[in-house]
Chains A and B, each alone.
Chain A
Amino acid sequence: MAKAAESSGDPGTTSPRPLMRDLKAVGKKFMHVLYPRKSNTLLRDWDLWGPLILCVTLALMLQRSSIDSEKDGGPQFAEVFVIVWFGAVTITLNSKLLGGNISFFQSLCVLGYCILPLTVAMLVCRLVLLAEPGPINFMVRLFVVVVMFAWSIVASTAFLADSQPPNRKALAIYPVFLFYFVISWMILTFTPQ
């Protein structure tokens, strides 16, 4: 493809050039998620770097310090990872079975990128948890998580809704709602120790 042809014809350059291009593409898609409009950017040139970065960040932040727990945090990382990727695969299969004309990886790409607002919510919750615990603390975190949850759903709807037959959009969006609800629950109930 175009990227490989460009980079392979020049043995003198090291990898920074395609790396910067990839990073810029990932950053552009992040912007599209944060300000969702009906556009094709996420669908046209999909990539899975962004979802991977977001998933790893989320899984790392959802670990707790392992001073007094028997397990050393390893399984928690794996569990978050598995839930995110298997949830995305399930939603993709569901939308394909409902008659959507989106490809498998395009759908994974959109669902992965739309986790960005929830990752931001996780960062904010982590900062809020540095203050003293209490009901106000919980209310602030609840508010932030609910707002980001709604943002994720709006963003993914803006990208995914066009690929479904018009009368079945609700059927395709409902599992997306459940998926982001489960991730929001994981973020909201997280307490480091």
Chain B
Amino acid sequence: MENMDDTSGSSFEDMGELHQRLREEEVDADAAAAEEEDGEFLGMKGFKGQLSRQVADQMWQAGKRQASRAFSLYANIDILRPYFDVEPAQVRSRLLESMIPIKMVNFPQKIAGELYGPLMLVFTLVAILLHGMKTSDTIIREGTLMGTAIGTCFGYWLGVSSFIYFLAYLCNAQITMLQMLALLGYGLFGHCIVLFVTYNIHLHALFYVFWLLVGGLSTLRMVAVLVSRTVGPTQRLLLCGTLAALHMLFLLYLHFAYHKVVEGILDTLEGPDIPPMQRVPRDVPAALPAARLSAIVLNATAKAVAVTLQSH
């Protein structure tokens, strides 16, 4: 039955070994043909030279074999090819399904083991984060913001997947690393939608509604899949509670605290431009960079306090 089919795709090592074995057979066949020709050419005269040459050859072959095995195992992109074997219609349907929780928890639900969709969703999230930070007349250090965006998104996808996989290992859940990566990757689709909408329409109430609805739906989908693959109430609670908390809190973080981090970077850059009357008087020499930094931070806080006092 469809739902029982969990072992989609062999592991990296198996595929690497297969490739290496096929290539070795080819190389051996070629080498054997070359050696035969050599022997016929030299006859009896080149016997000693042939022996030493054969020893050297064998050592060279052994070393080359080891090096090329290591290389083909880790640098062969053909290993990843089966995980990118998708059609646009499949990607579209998987995107839509990632928002629809399925209530069947007695049978392990099927997870598509592909990496194209999740990878594109992570890159899309990076692009949306960058788009949300556009300001027109402030100094921006694009490099730092870009590095932060890429680091945050990839760090979340890879780090939380690994952590939940580790927890699943502890809780005896039936899920492989690839499936976890794919599940969490497609779960980022909800995040992309929420952030795209709320970065363009700046209403806090709207964000909370979207956070609960859209974020909640994609979290429920992932939770249902994990529940169907775990046995035992404690394990289910631990695994799904952790995933739900991390997923929902990440969306909250991206909307609020990420903006604060960005504004912190912008404020630190704007520091010297604050007019003198807003500075809190401190009698520390201006040459000390540490004191200046704390003065700038205090100015940002003072500015924020002044703004809130003014608005009341």
A binds B: yes
Cα A97 to Cα B119 with chains together (Å): 13
Question: Given A62-B142, A171-B86, A171-B116, do A189 and B134 touch, yes or no (CB 8 Å)?
Answer: yes
Q: Tell me whether A185 and B137 are in contact in the complex, defined as CB-CB below 8 angstroms, given that A98-B84, A178-B124 are known contacts.
A: no
Q: How many of chain B's residues have a CB under 8 angstroms from any CB in A?
A: 33
Q: Is the C-beta of A46 less than 8 angstroms from some C-beta in chain B?
A: no
For the complex, give the distance between the alpha carbons of A190 and B135 in Å: 10
- Cβ < 8 Å to B, chain A residues 121-149: 133, 138
A189–B142 CB distance below 8 A: yes
Which A144-193 residues sit within 8 Å CB-CB of chain B? 167-168, 170-171, 174-175, 178, 181-182, 185-186, 188-191, 193
Bound CA span A181–B137, Å: 20
B116 touches A186 (CB 8 A): no
Pair B137/A79 contact, Cβ less than 8 Å: no
Instruction: Tell me the chain A residues, 45-79 only, with Cβ under 8 Å from chain B.
Output: 62, 64, 68-69, 71, 75-76, 78-79
Q: Main SS of the interface on chain A?
A: helix
Contact indicator B140/A79 (Cβ below 8 Å): no
- Please encode chain B, from 25 to 39, with 1 for each CB lying within 8 Å of some chain A CB and 0 for all others: 000000000000000
- A7 interfacial contact with B, CB 8 Å: no
Complex CA–CA separation, A167 to B269 (angstroms): 48
Interface size class of A (residues with CB under 8 A): 35 or more
Residue B103 interfacial (CB < 8 Å): no
A82's nearest neighbour on chain B, judged by CB, is: B143
Chain B proximity of A71: nearest CB distance (Å): 8
Does A83 count as interface, using CB distance less than 8 angstroms? yes
Contact (Cβ within 8 A) B131 A191:
no
Task: Kindly identify, within residues 63 to 99 of chain B, every residue whose CB is under 8 Å from any CB belonging to chain A.
Answer: 77, 80-81, 83-88, 91
Beta-carbon contact of B136 and A189 below 8 Å: yes
Residue of A nearest to B133 (CB): A189
**Selected A-B contacts with CB under 8 Å, 5 pairs:** A76-B142, A79-B146, A80-B142, A174-B120, A185-B131
